[in-house]
Amino acid sequence: MTLSRQLIILITVLLVLVFTGTFFISVQNTRAYLESQLESHAQDAATSLGLSISKHMADGDLATITSMTDAIFDRGYYRLVVVQDIHGVPLVERSLAVTLEGVPPWFIDRFPLTTPRGEAIVMSGWVQAGKVVVQSHPGFAHRQLWENSVEVFWWFLVSALVVLFLGLLSLQLVLKPLRQVEQQANAIVNREFPIIDRLPKTMDLRRIVVAMNRMSTKVKQMIEKLERLTEGLHRQASRNPVTDLTNKRFFHNTMTNLFASPEECLSGVLALIQLNNLKDINENHGYQAGDELLKQTAEALQSVAGSYSKSYLAHLNGGDFALFVEDVSLAEANKLGETLSSVLSGLADTTLVESEDMGHIGLAVYNATQNLSELLSQADMSLRAAQGEGANSWHLYKPGEIDAGSIRGASEWQATIQNALASDRFILQLQPVFACRDRSILHHEVYVRIKEEDEQGATQLLSAGLFIPHADRLGLTPEIDQMVIGKVIKRLLVETKQNTSYAINISPISLKNKKFTAWLERQLSANSAIARRLIFEMPEYGAVSQLDNVGAFINQIRRHGAAFSLDHFGRSHSAFGYLKTIKVDFLKIDGSYLWELQKSAENQFFIQALVDIAHGLEIKVVGEAVETEQVWGIVQKLHLEGGQGYFLGKPE
């Protein structure tokens, strides 16, 4: 029960007690006063009548005595009037039955009035001739007592309501700082740190507000310090200190994890860039000049990498750089080689190098048949070939075997995807995400495949990593997302288990499509009972590029109880600050951080710090690519909520 409600109840109880006591005392005082008045009234009437009939009693004039008695009794204020002789025998007796109109019986029973008798001696000279007995009628007194009680009741009731109303207004004003403190505390839980500027005048509340303001400031400073420390250590462990590009170890882990999942990447091109004159510049002009060359090279390569939506640039060591670009064709690989060659040529005009031969580029096409070592070897062979072909030259290594499924033009892929949509040839596969605490299933991640037949009539499933890049370029991704969501909703409507949730990957392109968001709104509204069992996932690199759209999307799905997850968290190397802007429910740590996690103390520290920060934001953390029992054990010790990978369960 809230403090304001408790105070209202307390004030009401006090008012009722005060009213009850005041009412009872008022009625009792009025009752005592009326009884004394009745007694005085009866005694005065008896004395007056006794004096009036004294002469007539001596003369024995009963008729006059009767007339005088009736004159008094007929006023109606008396219940009994009796004139007795010396022996107590009634000479005249008049009585009136007690009838009370307009007074409730319960009031008469609860507050009875005693009507004492007034007596007077009738004298005849010095001799007692008789006695007069008078008893007042209580009807008028009871009516007066009732009317007075009713007036007191209504007056007090109106006064109590006014006091209660004013008390409520006062409580609202007095307790307003406490509500602000409550909102401030809830904001701190959500990693927001507001300060209450207007301090209350009540000293006790003022001290509370001042203490909360200090705590909010201190917690903000502590959290920001922890974030800066974590980001700094992560940067030191994963970045080259000169160029601030991803270092060799982190690039190796990222590529290994990327190639291990067919959902992530099925094609691409790797470029190795090697500078020729770094050693000469270091020896002739000093290491500062050499570092400047590396920085200029890094900036130039970043401009190239930025023109691709999915690219990974790294500074391997010395004058060696690597650039991997996903989902590119052979023609685009050739264009990349020409662009990189042009970039190297441009460096000759801005550096201390006298020669125009800045370096060489070796490229190798990735088609999901090689591992990272093989791809690096192929790129290195291309680099050696380029070094024999002239200044700033490039060479492309083309593997002899390329997956036939990937050799399709844009029009062929468009026909493949549209036919699959029209004929319902999309298949869903589910991979479980297990809880670290008890290995129960937190939810299932949904993967999509296209079912088709090859030339021999055998059925094959095309992975999303093969057709989604083409769907993105063709603008077909929103249609695929609608299809997947529709299939999952149908599954939920017939599913008997009421606690199973499904994580659906949403393309960043779909968030910019108003038709898609309007369709999704209708689906969630029509299926509100199962919306809470849906989790929508998006890669971090796609989310950070459109935070406003992502925030609006999260607000949209949360109105219906659905959740939101950031996939491949950490791959984009973004600062954690944006997590305060978009309130996500899950973070899925990129598998590159978990690859051989038992050998990397830096990655373990980063994950532990990330978990602490995420839990402060009430975000659940899941580890991707859990491929060994050792990694699963470490994930459990680092207090993640869940894990996902082939060691735990494959897509089925």
Q: Do 143 and 18 sit in the same domain of this protein?
A: yes
Residue 563's pLDDT is: 92
- Per-residue burial over 81-90, b if 16 or more Cβ lie within 10 Å, else e, is bbbbeeeeee
Residue 444's pLDDT is: 92
Give me the long-range contacts of 547-552 (CB less than 8 A, separation at least 24). 547/578, 547/581, 547/582, 549/511, 549/512, 550/511, 550/582, 551/581, 551/582
Residue from 273, 280, 234 nearest 253 by CA: 234
Q: In the Cβ-directed half-sphere of 369, how many Cα atoms lie within 13 Å?
A: 13
Measured CA to CA, the distance from residue 305 to residue 312 in angstroms comes to: 7
Q: Do 557 and 618 sit in the same domain of this protein?
A: yes
Q: Do 219 and 279 sit in the same domain of this protein?
A: no
What would the mean pLDDT of 223-250 be, rounded to a whole number? 79
- Between 283 and 645, whose confidence is greater? 645
Q: What 3 state SS string does 458-518 have?
A: CEEEEEHHHHHHHHHHHCCHHHHHHHHHHHHHHHHHHCCCCCCCEEEECCHHHHCCHHHHH
Retrieve residue 608's tokens.
Answer: 């532990």
Res. 473 pLDDT band, cuts 50 70 90: confident
Q: Is the pLDDT of residue 323 over 90?
A: yes
Q: In the Cβ-directed half-sphere of 643, how many Cα atoms lie within 13 Å?
A: 28
DSSP 22: H
Residue from 625, 611, 620 nearest 642 by CA: 620
Q: Do 423 and 497 sit in the same domain of this protein?
A: yes
Measured CA to CA, the distance from residue 278 to residue 319 in angstroms comes to: 6
Proportion of the chain above pLDDT 90, given as a percent = 8
Sorted by sequence, the CB contacts under 8 Å of residue 106 that are 6+ apart come out as none
Last residue of a domain, one of 376, 405, 434: 405
Range of the structural domain that residue 195 is part of: 190-238
Sign of the alpha-carbon torsion through 183, 189, 190, 196: positive
Retrieve residue 41's tokens.
Answer: 């009234």
Residue from 542, 611, 609 nearest 582 by CA: 542
Measured CA to CA, the distance from residue 127 to residue 121 in angstroms comes to: 10
Residue from 129, 56, 84, 466 nearest 264 by CA: 466
pLDDT in tens, 70-105: 888 777 678 888 888 888 888 888 888 777 677 888
Q: Do 436 and 399 sit in the same domain of this protein?
A: no
648 lies in a domain? no
Comparing 26-40, 148-162, 571-585, the range with the smallest average pLDDT is 571-585
Please, what is the average pLDDT of the chain?
82
- Rounded to two decimals, the pTM is 0.59
pLDDT in tens, 586-623: 999 888 788 778 888 888 888 888 888 888 778 899 98
**Cα separations in angstroms, 21 against 29, 145, 156:** 12, 17, 12
Q: Do 331 and 276 sit in the same domain of this protein?
A: yes
175 lies in a domain? no
Residue 537's pLDDT is: 92
Residue from 322, 300, 299 nearest 312 by CA: 322
Q: Do 388 and 413 sit in the same domain of this protein?
A: no
The size of the chain, in residues, is 652
Q: How far is CA 524 from the centre of its chain?
A: 19
169 lies in a domain? no
Comparing 155-159, 297-301, 363-367, 501-505, the range with the smallest average pLDDT is 155-159
What would the mean pLDDT of 288-305 be, rounded to a whole number? 86
Residue type, 93: E
196 lies in a domain? yes
Residue type, 552: A
pLDDT in tens, 261-289: 766 777 889 999 988 877 777 777 777 87
Structural domain tally of the chain?
Answer: 4
**3-state class of 222 per DSSP?**
helix
Q: Is the pLDDT of residue 637 over 60?
A: yes
Q: Do 532 and 426 sit in the same domain of this protein?
A: yes
Measured CA to CA, the distance from residue 123 to residue 109 in angstroms comes to: 40
Q: Do 471 and 451 sit in the same domain of this protein?
A: yes
181 lies in a domain? no
Q: Do 209 and 88 sit in the same domain of this protein?
A: no
DSSP 627: -
Virtual torsion, Cα 629, 635, 637, 642, nearest 10 deg: -110
Residue 403's pLDDT is: 44
- Tokens 């996690």 label which residue? 597
Measured CA to CA, the distance from residue 565 to residue 461 in angstroms comes to: 26
Last residue of a domain, one of 217, 238, 259: 238
Residue type, 526: A
What would the mean pLDDT of 483-493 be, rounded to a whole number? 90
Q: What is the CATH number of the domain that holds 346?
A: 3.30.70.270
Res. 445 pLDDT band, cuts 50 70 90: very high
Q: Do 401 and 475 sit in the same domain of this protein?
A: no
131 lies in a domain? yes
Q: What is the CATH number of the domain that holds 56?
A: 3.30.450
Res. 389 pLDDT band, cuts 50 70 90: low
Sorted by sequence, the CB contacts under 8 Å of residue 164 that are 6+ apart come out as 8, 11, 12, 15
Last residue of a domain, one of 207, 238, 269: 238
| Burial class (CB within 10 angstroms; exposed 0-12, middle 13-18, buried 19+) of 232 | exposed
299's enclosing H/E stretch is helix 287-305
Pick the most confident of 20-34, 133-147, 464-478, 619-633.
619-633
42 lies in a domain? yes
Strand-by-strand arrangement of the 127-136 sheet: 90-95, 78-85, 127-136, 117-124
Q: Do 201 and 262 sit in the same domain of this protein?
A: no
Measured CA to CA, the distance from residue 393 to residue 358 in angstroms comes to: 10
Measured CA to CA, the distance from residue 476 to residue 468 in angstroms comes to: 9
182 lies in a domain? no
Residue 263's pLDDT is: 67
